[in-house]
């Protein structure tokens, strides 16, 4: 198997196990009863739908197929994709931005807040949730300006602070996140259908949980833990000095939360696909997370070697998922790259494997911080070339310019945005002769 074929299998699996397909597998509609994982909800053309996150469009397409347009009262879909369907009388689409918050995010936040506040109190609100919504919908508290919040969160994204903690900060500064949208809704019941990119599948963490029951967490603890005090503007500091950690959002609503898809589902589907293409066995590692790309790469490479040493002849694959948090030490020197490109570059620094191999780090959403690039790869074919460029490679890593290195050595993996999102996927293919 070569790199082109393996990438094709990866993309094929993404298409065949789309969020829309996950919806179709988990939801049925018969005689005015909506069945979600065997629980029935009586509906009578009284369904309102909102969707946000990287997979919002695909998830809505799946739901619309199941329900039929006549049973949807109204809907608002927030997406970062370039091409969206035309608006209709019932269904509105709005293009927002990702990964950074923009003026589009603010407009999207205001639109979805207004939409939810006008939902008929007798309607059922179905919410399609996927990762990425944190950046797509923004509506800050009155104490701070949008530009201030935007700058502060942009700095946090490159500070190395884990995404889970960044999202806690986001919630604390938002009218809609952390259950804020749930509070704005007049209806009594909220049905959340969730595609998880989160390792523990904590629903309140995915897209910062706008429609999930949420208790406050003191943001001052995170600021202290990660030494972020210098980044915090004075009016946010003042707001945090009086932060009500006991405030609960969504406590007057009845929630039904359903996990309809996850990284585990995708990896299982990819494993089946690989076994049909001359792969003897597929190994699955637990989710991987680390703030240090070099140590992360070192740990992965050791695991791969241990697996290799205990196997007979054949072709094998090791699959895992996760994310690394890249801490950019100097924003002025940082040029261009993404966390998967950064990880693969650090994998190139490790003790080289003495057998045929390919290592891929790929974003399931098709965007590794850069449009048109989902990640990078490294193979035994590149080994001798890379060994001659170690100093140059180390310099690119130091300056967070791994995109340029991968481009020069033709190790980039190109992709369009997929409309999917189940975290980053790490693939290690190898041969034992």
Q: 206: which residues sit within 8 A by CB, 6+ positions away? A: 53, 129, 130, 131, 133, 194, 195, 196, 197, 198
φ/ψ (deg, to 5) at 96: -110, -160
Q: Cα–Cα distance between 282 and 128 in angstroms, integer?
A: 32
Q: 31-261 and 264-432: same fold?
A: no
31-261: CATH topology is: Rossmann fold (3.40.50)
C-alpha 309 chain-centroid distance: 34
Q: Quick one: 264-432 is in which CATH superfamily? A: MOFRL domain (3.40.1480.10)
CA distances from 17 to 23, 304, 318, 377 (A): 10, 27, 20, 23
Token pair belonging to 165 = 């903690």
Mean pLDDT computed over 276-293:
84
Instruction: Tell whether the model's pLDDT for residue 318 goes beyond 80.
Output: yes
Mean pLDDT computed over 357-367:
95
Lowest mean per-residue pLDDT among 53-57, 104-108, 119-123, 342-346:
119-123
Lowest mean per-residue pLDDT among 33-42, 147-156, 159-168, 220-229:
159-168
Query: Quick one: what percent of the chain has pLDDT higher than 90?
Result: 63
| pLDDT of res. 35 | 95
The predicted-structure confidence for 16-49, as pLDDT tens digits, reads as follows: 888 999 999 999 999 889 999 889 998 888 899 9
The predicted-structure confidence for 47-106, as pLDDT tens digits, reads as follows: 999 999 999 999 999 999 999 999 999 999 999 998 899 999 999 999 999 887 899 999
Q: Cα–Cα distance between 69 and 120 in angstroms, integer?
A: 18
What one-character-per-residue DSSP string does 344-375 give?
HHHHHTSPPPSS-EEEEEEETTS-SSSTTEEE
Q: At what angle do helices 339-348 and 390-398 cross, to 10 degrees?
A: 150
Instruction: Tell whether the model's pLDDT for residue 332 goes beyond 80.
Output: no
Instruction: Tell whether the model's pLDDT for residue 292 goes beyond 90.
Output: no
What one-character-per-residue DSSP string does 29-76 give?
EETTEEEETTEEEE-SS-EEEEEESTTHHHHHHHHHHHH-GGGEEEEE
| pLDDT of res. 425 | 95
Query: Quick one: what percent of the chain has pLDDT higher than 70?
Result: 97
User: b/e string for 55-86 if b means 16 or more Cβ within 10 A?
Assistant: bbbbbbbbbbebbeeebbbbbbbbbbbeebee
| pLDDT of res. 163 | 75
Instruction: Tell whether the model's pLDDT for residue 329 goes beyond 80.
Output: no
**169: helix, strand or coil:** helix
CA distances from 225 to 161, 218, 221 (A): 10, 12, 6
pLDDT confidence band for 335 (50 / 70 / 90): low
Instruction: Tell whether the model's pLDDT for residue 287 goes beyond 70.
Output: no
Q: Is there a contact between 425 and 267 (Cβ–Cβ < 8 Å)? A: yes
Record the pTM: 0.88
Token pair belonging to 375 = 């990640």
Lowest mean per-residue pLDDT among 185-194, 222-231, 288-297:
288-297
| pLDDT of res. 288 | 65
Specify the long-range contacts of residues 248-251, CB closer than 8 Å, at least 24 apart.
248/179, 248/213, 248/214, 248/215, 248/216, 249/178, 249/179, 249/180, 249/182, 249/183, 249/213, 249/214, 250/179, 250/182, 250/183, 250/190, 250/211, 250/212, 250/213, 250/214, 251/213
C-alpha 245 chain-centroid distance: 27
Q: 211: which residues sit within 8 A by CB, 6+ positions away? A: 50, 125, 127, 129, 179, 181, 182, 185, 190, 192, 250, 255
Q: Cα–Cα distance between 156 and 140 in angstroms, integer?
A: 16
Please provide the average confidence, as pLDDT, over all residues in the chain.
90
Q: Is there a contact between 208 and 174 (Cβ–Cβ < 8 Å)? A: yes
The predicted-structure confidence for 376-414, as pLDDT tens digits, reads as follows: 999 999 988 998 999 999 999 988 889 999 999 999 999
Instruction: Tell whether the model's pLDDT for residue 290 goes beyond 80.
Output: no
Helices marked H in 310-349: 339-348
Domain boundaries, the chain: 31-261, 264-432
95 burial level (CB within 10 Å; 0-12, 13-18, 19+): middle
C-alpha 238 chain-centroid distance: 32
| pLDDT of res. 334 | 55
The predicted-structure confidence for 231-261, as pLDDT tens digits, reads as follows: 899 999 999 998 888 887 777 788 999 999 9
Mean pLDDT computed over 358-376:
93
Instruction: Tell whether the model's pLDDT for residue 147 goes beyond 70.
Output: yes
- Higher-confidence position of 85 and 170: 85
Instruction: Tell whether the model's pLDDT for residue 310 goes beyond 90.
Output: yes
Pair type for strands 314-324 and 357-363: unpaired
């Amino acid at each position: 198997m070569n790199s082109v074929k393996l990438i094709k299998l990866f993309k094929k699996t993404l298409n065949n196990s789309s969020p829309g397909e996950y919806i179709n597998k988990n939801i049925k509609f018969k005689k005015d009863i909506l069945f979600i994982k065997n629980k029935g909800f009586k509906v009578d053309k009284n369904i309102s739908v909102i969707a946000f996150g990287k997979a919002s469009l695909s998830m809505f397409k799946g739901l619309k197929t199941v329900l039929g347009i006549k049973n949807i009262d109204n809907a608002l879909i927030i997406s970062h994709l370039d091409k969206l369907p035309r608006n209709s009388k019932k269904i509105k689409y709005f293009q927002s931005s990702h990964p950074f918050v923009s003026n589009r995010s603010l407009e999207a936040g205001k639109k979805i807040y207004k939409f939810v506040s006008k939902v008929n109190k007798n309607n059922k609100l179905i919410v399609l949730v996927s990762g990425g919504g944190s950046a797509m919908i923004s509506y800050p508290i009155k104490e701070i300006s949008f530009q201030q919040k935007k700058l502060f969160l942009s700095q946090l994204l490159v500070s190395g602070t884990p995404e889970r903690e960044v999202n806690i900060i986001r919630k604390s500064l938002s009218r809609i996140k952390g259950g804020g949208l749930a509070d704005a809704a007049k209806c009594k019941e909220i049905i959340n259908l969730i595609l998880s990119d989160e390792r523990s599948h904590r629903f309140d963490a995915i897209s910062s949980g706008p429609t999930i029951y949420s208790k406050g967490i003191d943001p001052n603890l995170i600021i202290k833990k990660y030494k972020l005090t210098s980044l915090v503007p004075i009016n946010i500091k003042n707001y945090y000095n009086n932060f009500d950690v006991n405030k609960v959002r969504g406590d007057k609503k009845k929630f039904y939360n359903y996990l309809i898809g996850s990284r585990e589902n995708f990896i299982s589907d990819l494993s089946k696909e690989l076994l049909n293409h001359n792969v003897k066995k597929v190994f699955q590692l637990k989710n991987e997370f680390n703030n240090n790309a070099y140590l992360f790469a070192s740990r992965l490479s050791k695991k791969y070697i241990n697996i290799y040493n205990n196997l007979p002849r054949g072709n094998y694959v090791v699959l895992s998922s996760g994310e690394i948090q890249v801490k950019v030490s100097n924003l002025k020197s940082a040029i261009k790259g993404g966390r998967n490109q950064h990880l693969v570059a650090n994998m190139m620094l490790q003790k080289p494997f003495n057998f045929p191999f390919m290592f891929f780090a790929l974003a399931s959403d098709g965007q590794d911080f850069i449009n048109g690039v989902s990640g990078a790869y490294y193979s035994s074919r590149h080994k001798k070339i890379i060994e001659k460029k170690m100093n140059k490679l180390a310099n690119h890593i130091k300056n967070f310019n791994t995109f340029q290195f991968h481009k020069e050595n033709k190790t980039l993996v190109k992709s369009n945005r997929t409309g999917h999102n189940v975290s980053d996927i790490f693939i290690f293919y190898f041969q034992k002769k």
